[in-house]
Amino acid sequence: MRVPWKLLGLAGLAGVAAGGAIVVRRRRDQRHYDPDELRARLHERLAEARSDAAPGTEPST
């Protein structure tokens, strides 16, 4: 059986391109936030993480 290397290469290239497009799309969404708004959201998430942790323990980083 002969392996169609060109087809495998093209499929791999298409997969990498699709993955890159997803990453760019996610990063673009993050840039729409105003820096002050983003900072406030991060502080809210940190406060939630600390309140969900057991009393007397630090959340792992």
Asked if residues 42 and 49 have their Cβ atoms less than 8 Å apart, the reply is no
pTM, rounded to two decimals: 0.39
Q: So where are the chain's domains? A: 16-50
Question: In the predicted model, is pLDDT for residue 60 greater than 90?
Answer: no
pLDDT (0 to 100) of residue 61: 58
Q: Which token pair is 3?
A: 């392996």
Say which residues have a Cβ less than 8 Å from residue 49's Cβ, sequence separation at least 6.
59
* pLDDT, tens digit, 9 for 90 and up, residues 2-59: 768 888 889 999 999 999 888 887 776 556 778 899 899 999 999 999 988 756 666 5
Q: Which helix (H) or strand (E) holds 5?
A: helix 5-30
State how far the alpha carbon of 45 is from the alpha carbons of 42, 49, 50, 51, 61, in Å: 5, 6, 9, 10, 13
